[in-house]
Each structure stands twice: as C-alpha cells, then as structure tokens.
C-alpha cells in the first residue's frame, strides 16, 4: 500500500491535495464519487444561500442609504447637536431693541400660493457652509486669499446688439412718477425666473444692472457666464421702458489681482479704456463698479481710478455707480470697509449703492435691523449727497444650522420649508420674518425677506430719509412676488396740494 501511494496508484485522501498525482486511468470507487458529489452539492447550496441572503441585505442597505442621501442634511443632526451642547435653541441673546423673538402679534402662516412641481421637490434646507466662503458683500470675514478664475470665457461681441442712441438721462432725473428711483440686479445664475419677473415688473424699474463683466489681470473685460440669447431680449425690455442699463464690473472677488492692477498706472488706464469701449460699442448708459473685497492699501489708488473713469464717462453723458459695503464710520470694523473712501467716491460717482444687508452673519439674526440701517445712513449723509445715496436691500435671507454655518434662503425656499414642517412664522421690530425648527435632533433657524418686511424698511426710509436717491434690489427673482405691488403703492410721488 505504501508503494501504491508513492506511485500514485491509489486514491488521494484529499482531492484538493496538490502533492500527489493520479494516473489518467485511475477511477475512484463508487463510494468515493458519492462523497465527492455530496461535497459539491453542499458547496452549491451554501453558495446559493449566501447569494440570496446577501442580495436581500444589499437591497435593504442601498434602499436605506438612498433614503438617507435624499435627506442627508436632516440626518446628521444628532452628531452636530452633540458637538455643540452649549447652543441654546430655546432663546436667543440678540439685543431686544430690534429683535423680539417673543413678539406675539407677528406670528403668521406660510404664503398659501401654490408652487410649481419643481418647487415642491425641495423639502430639505440648503446645505450650509462657513461664512467666509460666501463672496458677495462679505464685509465680516471675506476670503482675502481668493484667486481669480482661469476658466475661458466667450467674448460677447457677436451676441449683444449695439444701441446707437441710448436714452438721455441726467444723473438725478427719473422718467417716471416715483419718489425714489429703483434699480435691480439681474442674476445670470437664475436667468429664467429673473427674466419673467423683469418682463412683468418693468414699469416700476428705472435701472437694470446687467450684464456682469469680470476684470482680467491685464485690464481687459470678459463676460461672466450667461445665456448668449438673453442680452437681446433684455435690451428690448430696457428700450421699451426707457431704463438705464449699467453692466456690473466685478473683480472676481480676487483682492490680489485687483491690487496689482490698481497699483499699475498702465493697467489702470487699460481698464478705463476697456470700460469706455464697452459702453460706447453696446450703447450702455454707464457702468456700476463693484470691486470686492479691496485691500486697505488700495484705498487711494481706487479713488484715483474712479475719479479718472468718472471724468471720461461724464464727457460722454454716461452714468457711474459705485457699490460699497455698509459701515457706520470711516474705518468700519473690517479692513475691506476701510478700503472704501465714501466721501471721495461720492464726489466722483452719480450714485453710491450701500449694500445694507448681512448684519447678522456668524450668528442667526435679521439681515438689516432698522437701528443699524439708521446708523449706516446717518454716517452716509455726512459724506455723500443724499440724492446720490442708493440703499441696496436684499430679497433673500439666510438659514443657519450652527454658528457660522449658513446658506442663502430665498423667499420660495422659505415657503417650502414652512409648509413642509408646518412652522409658525415670527416677526421682529425690523419686520423680517423668521422661523425655528428641530428635525431629527438638529436645529435650523431661518431669516428671510417678504413683502411685509420690505414694506417696513421702505416706509422707514421714506419717513426718515425722504431725500435719498433710490433703492437697489438684490436680486431679481429671489424676492416675495408681493413686494412689487407694495413698491408700486409706496413709491408714488405724493400729489401736489393746490
């Protein structure tokens, strides 16, 4: 037998043992074949059971995970609450002079107007993030290391029709019977909704800020992203209703790039010539300069640039508007506010648009409390002629999931959340509506803008500052549709008494 094993003439004890070899003619006994068949059958049964159970487990896992992804903002609540145990969600520490969260007379229900099917899909709040990532009008903590974009952009020269004879409007004239001029900023990121609103409300608008142009490193301008067919449609509306059309000249939120340009006289002159070329070629009524953020060391060079641009534009009867961060004194509370010399800018420009919002930033609260707006405007009147001051009001608010974790909140988004969670809406002395709710352990606090809050601010401005030049709306389409009816009523010039 030992000889047989050495020669491989007998069956192996383990058929998977690789240290032996069987002759090709070696056929196992019937009992051995039965044992082998039973083993194979057992393996197949086990594999079948594993595949079946595994499939059911995987289906359940991915179904659960899919549901989790569709509401991931609501599912991370427990962890975040554990990380921030000191946050008191039952009360707030803001001064009571402009915000009273216990005001019983201002509770309101959500707007009953029906939304489109697309609107109804969104039930979770927007994804929040750190405040320094929000570039527009971030005078609290802007990203001073932000670089300009290197992405290629199309030149619009073959898509924007030239207008040979723009309307002849002086810097203080209004073609309509309104107490204050109204300008609106047209968002390239929400063109469809904004265009629909513009077509319906054009009779109430004096000035349209569109398109958006970005300053390049060499002093040239490039069109920011947007539809190629849209400019012609907008131009027809502008001409029909005799609006001013001012393109917005932005700095790509890149303080380093605009610093190098402003410090280089040749590049600064190149930018001035480029702006004039665009204005003349496309028949714009002027431009709006919106450089943000600026470095404090660019304060003087920015004024020199604006003064030079103003002279050239006024020689051609064109308008110059400057957008500035809000502040209550010359230095402000941040370097980007210090970089803007309101007195010198007000002397050179035809309108100075004070972006009077984002008061509450690192913590939830109203965007523009009236007591703060009063301080901003009192300082503005000391430095800028009243007829040149435009107060920029925001049509949207913000929602916070934690301190310094926020996201923009439009009126329609707020209404969807209010309906979905059946929330009570409160209102403080500044008129801004707000809500608070907990969902799956996480607390959300949202402030937004509606027609009532807008009316509160509008009436405040009319009563306290009747000689202001106008209102600027940021931005078209984000607002409560009812504000247009309110503006029509509130902005009429009072009839002269005989």
DSSP character string of 227-295: -SSHHHHHHHHHHHTT-EEEEEEE-TT-HHHHHHHHT-HHHHHHHHHHHHHHHHHHT-SEEEEE--S--
Query: Does residue 26 carry a pLDDT above 70?
Result: no
Beta-bridge partner residues of 489: none
Query: For 106-152, what is each residue's pLDDT tens digit?
Result: 333 344 444 444 444 557 888 999 998 899 999 999 989 888 875 44
Average pLDDT over residues 366-370: 97
Answer yes or no: is pLDDT of 366 > 50: yes
pLDDT of 288 over the 50 cut: yes
pLDDT digits (tens, 9 = 90+) for 203-216: 999 999 999 999 99
pLDDT (average), residues 36-60: 63
225 — pLDDT class (breaks 50, 70, 90)? confident
Distance CA 198, CA 195 (A): 5
Per-position DSSP letters for 329-389, written without gaps between them: SSS-SSHHHHT--HHHHHHH-SEEEEE------SS---SS-HHHHHHHHHHHHHHS-GGGE
**What angle is formed at CA 298 by the lines to CA 292 and CA 299, rounded to 5 degrees?**
90
pLDDT tens-place string over residues 61-83:
444 444 444 344 434 433 433 33
Confidence of residue 494 (pLDDT cuts 50, 70, 90): confident
pLDDT digits (tens, 9 = 90+) for 412-452: 999 999 999 999 999 988 899 999 999 888 899 999 999 99
Range in 87-101, 218-232, 320-334, 460-474 the model is least confident about: 87-101
The pLDDT of residue 227 is 64
Q: Does the structure show a pLDDT above 70 at 166?
A: no
Predicted local distance difference test score (pLDDT) of residue 162: 52
pLDDT over 70 at 456, yes or no: yes
In tens, the pLDDT along 243-267 reads: 999 999 999 999 999 999 999 999 9
pLDDT of residue 110: 42
Residues in the chain: 498
Burial of 415 (0-12, 13-18, 19+ CB in 10 A): buried
Q: What is the reported pLDDT for 55?
A: 52
User: What's the Rg (C-alpha) of the chain?
Assistant: 33
The mean per-residue pLDDT over the stretch 229-242 comes to 91
The DSSP H or E segment spanning 55 is helix 30-70
Write out the two tokens for 253: 């939120």
- Measured on CA atoms in the order 108, 114, 115, 120, is the torsion positive or negative? positive
Q: What is the pLDDT of residue 32?
A: 53
What's the predicted TM-score (pTM) here?
A: 0.75
Closest CA to 344 of 383, 378, 373: 383
Does pLDDT of 8 surpass 70? no
- pLDDT given for residue 84 in this prediction: 39
pLDDT of residue 34: 60
Confidence of residue 161 (pLDDT cuts 50, 70, 90): low
Question: Among 325, 330, 231, 312, which residue's Cα sits nearest to residue 271?
Answer: 312
At 82-95, the pLDDT tens digits run 333 334 433 333 33
- Is the per-residue pLDDT at 286 higher than 50? yes
Q: 88-102, 213-227, 320-334, 349-363: which has the minimum mean pLDDT?
A: 88-102
Is the bond preceding 293 in cis, omega lying within 30 degrees of 0? yes
According to the model, what pLDDT value does residue 497 have? 59
For the stretch 400-423, pLDDT in tens is: 999 999 999 999 999 999 999 999
Average pLDDT along the chain = 80
Which pLDDT score, from 0 to 100, does residue 44 have? 75
């Amino acid at each position: 037998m030992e000889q047989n094993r050495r020669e491989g003439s007998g069956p192996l004890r383990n058929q998977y043992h690789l240290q032996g070899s069987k002759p090709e003619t070696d056929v196992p006994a019937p009992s051995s074949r039965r044992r082998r068949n039973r083993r194979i059958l057992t393996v197949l049964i086990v594999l079948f059971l594993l595949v079946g159970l595994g499939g059911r487990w995987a289906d359940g896992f991915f179904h659960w995970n899919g549901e989790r992804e569709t509401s991931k903002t609501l599912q991370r609540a427990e962890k975040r609450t554990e990380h921030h145990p000191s946050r008191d969600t039952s009360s707030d520490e803001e001064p009571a002079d402009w915000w009273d969260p216990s005001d019983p007379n201002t509770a309101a229900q959500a707007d009953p107007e029906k939304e489109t099917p697309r609107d109804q899909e969104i039930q979770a709040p927007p994804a929040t993030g750190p405040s320094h990532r929000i570039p527009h009008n971030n005078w609290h903590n802007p990203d001073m290391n932000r670089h300009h974009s290197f992405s290629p952009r199309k030149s619009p020269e073959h898509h924007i029709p030239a207008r040979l004879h723009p309307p002849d409007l002086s810097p203080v004239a209004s073609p309509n019977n309104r107490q204050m001029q109204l300008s609106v900023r047209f968002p390239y990121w929400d063109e469809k909704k904004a265009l629909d609103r513009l077509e319906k409300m054009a009779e109430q608008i004096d000035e349209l800020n569109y398109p958006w142009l970005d300053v390049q490193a060499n002093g040239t301008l490039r069109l920011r992203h947007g539809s190629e067919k849209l400019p012609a449609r907008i131009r027809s509306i502008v001409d029909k209703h005799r609006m001013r059309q001012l393109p917005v000249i932005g700095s790509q939120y890149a303080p380093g790039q605009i610093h190098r340009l402003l410090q280089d006289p040749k590049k600064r002159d190149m930018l001035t010539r480029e702006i004039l070329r665009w204005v003349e070629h496309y028949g714009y009524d002027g431009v709006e300069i919106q450089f943000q953020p600026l470095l404090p060391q660019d304060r003087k060079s920015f004024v020199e640039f604006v003064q030079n641009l103003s002279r050239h534009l006024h020689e051609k009867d064109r308008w110059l508007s400057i957008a500035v961060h809000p502040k209550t004194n010359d230095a402000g509370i941040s370097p980007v506010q210090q970089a803007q010399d309101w007195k010198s800018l007000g002397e050179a420009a035809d309108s100075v648009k004070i972006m009077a919002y984002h008061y509450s930033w690192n913590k939830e609260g109203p965007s523009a409390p009236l007591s703060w707006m009063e301080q901003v405007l009192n300082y503005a009147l000391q430095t800028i002629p009243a007829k040149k001051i435009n107060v920029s009001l925001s049509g949207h608010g913000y929602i916070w999931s934690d301190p310094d974790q926020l996201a923009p909140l439009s009126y329609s988004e707020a209404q969807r959340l209010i309906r979905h969670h059946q929330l009570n809406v409160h209102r403080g002395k500044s008129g801004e509506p707000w809500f608070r709710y907990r969902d799956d352990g996480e607390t959300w606090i949202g402030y937004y803008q509606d027609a009532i809050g807008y009316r509160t601010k509008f009436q405040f401005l009319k009563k306290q500052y009747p000689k202001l030049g106008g209102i600027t709306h940021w931005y078209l389409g984000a607002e409560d549709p009812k504000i247009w009816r309110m503006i029509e009523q509130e902005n009429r010039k009072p009839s002269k008494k005989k």
